[in-house]
Amino acid sequence: MTIPKMRLCEIAPEQYAARVLPATAQLWSGRRPVDLYVEQTLEIARSAYGRRSFRTVGLFDGTRLLASLKRYDRTIHLRGRRIRAAGIGAIFTPPEFRGRGYASAMLGLLLDRLRADGCGAAYLFSDIRPQFYADIGFVEMPSRSISVRSAALPAERIALGSLEERDWNGVRRCFEAVESKRPWGFERSPIVWDWLRMRIRHGSEHTSGQATNLVLRRGRSVAAYVLGARDPAHDAYVIDEFGYADDDAHALIPSLLRGAAGDLRRITGWLPPQPARDLLTRGSVRRRKDAIWMIAPLAPLARELVRLARVPGTGDGVWCSDHI
């Protein structure tokens, strides 16, 4: 029996689109037709963020592609220090190669490469079998969802508007105002914001409902915002994230969320990080069955992050917007 000489190689976006995306569309395209799924993935790869921080990677035996993944580079801030982090998504093994350990081998080689390159952490969101990732060094982090009755939030009359292109700088300022109160979190550079906006435009994160992104304006400024989707089929407004500029706007967040829900009975989403977590009534909190956030600490500072992120009562660590 010949033992394959496996190697980890970057796959050019066009090659990845031709060889991998048609096979993974059923898993990850959501409501998008296959050609649109391919087009939007290539748009990400060719964007400023994509050219600098997004890679498609494969495990090869000669020219045979045994497994593949997407890599998203981000930076995490931790009490004034910074951790280079690599997000891993769309892990895929072609059916004819499954059950042979190729995905594990690919991830092991990638973690070794990241560690050698000075990357402090790898992270992913697992939809199935978290133990598979735990066996190769990933640690499961708090991953919960919350459901709040809309009627439990105040119904103060506030003038909400749809998020417009001119509002994004204000949204960024609101996000940074909340983020400055956190001991750690994902940084958002201008190109990360562009990537986030592109994904919102693609509608890739919601498999049902209608995107409903709202702002509360104060003159020409954005005082608060919420990103999410109205999902009448589930009688819920689903939050991706929200933010506010100052203490006055902080007090209006419950009314903003109530306004976003409108006549829908529930407000749902991932359990927000602190301090945003405290703006929701206690509601019903439960462990998610999918998108379970996991980290592989590759450096001492990342192990400190894992310890801090697992402290009880601190909400979850990431917004749904950071999902990959």
Tens-digit pLDDT profile for residues 14-31: 999 999 999 999 999 989
What pLDDT is attached to residue 4?
57
What average pLDDT does range 155-184 have in this prediction?
95
Contact 227, 321 (CB under 8 A): yes
**The domain 144-287 is classified under which CATH number: 3.40.630.30, 3.20.20.70, 1.10.10.10, 3.90.1580.10?**
3.40.630.30
Contact 109, 8 (CB under 8 A): yes
What average pLDDT does range 257-263 have in this prediction?
96
Closest CA to 80 of 188, 187, 190: 187
Q: Is the pLDDT of residue 2 over 70?
A: no
Q: What is the pLDDT of residues 92-117, one digit of tens each?
A: 999 999 999 999 999 999 999 999 99
> Does the fold of domain 144-287 match that of domain 6-143+289-322?
yes
Superfamily (CATH H level) for 6-143+289-322: Gcn5-related N-acetyltransferase (GNAT) (3.40.630.30)
Contact 275, 290 (CB under 8 A): no
Report residue 216 as tokens.
Answer: 């509360």
Contact 85, 73 (CB under 8 A): yes
Q: Is the pLDDT of residue 280 over 90?
A: no
Instruction: Name the strand (E) or helix (H) holding 82.
Output: strand 81-92
Report residue 186 as tokens.
Answer: 């994902």
pTM: 0.94
Length of the chain as a residue count: 324
What are the boundaries of each domain within the chain? 6-143+289-322, 144-287
Closest CA to 242 of 181, 142, 165, 175: 175
Closest CA to 212 of 195, 189, 191, 232: 232
